[in-house]
Amino acid sequence: MTHVTIELDDQIAHELEARARTEGLNAQEWVERLVRRHVHPQWPESVRALVGAWPDFPTAEELRKGCGQDIVREQL
């Protein structure tokens, strides 16, 4: 495992620790999760499971199929 050192000002470090605590993590775990999310972005399994779950939306031609013919506009 590689160790990475970063410098943060005190206020940012304090806010990072507070944010991590609200998610039940320590600062290292929170930063690792954030980096992982940006280095290997992927959809959650719950979202990927939705692929093909409903039919495609109809095209404009399919929507207009039963509407009949437009009338000619009046010339001004």
Q: Is 74 left (phi over 0), alpha (psi -120 to 50) or beta?
A: beta
3-class DSSP state of 12: helix
**Digits of tens for pLDDT over the chain (76 positions)?**
889 999 999 999 999 999 999 999 999 999 999 998 889 888 888 888 888 888 888 888 888 888 887 788 888 7
pLDDT computed for residue 8 by the predictor: 95
Q: Which of 39, 32, 2, 40 is nearest to 16 (CA)?
A: 32
Dihedral sign, Cα of residue 15, residue 16, residue 20, residue 21:
negative
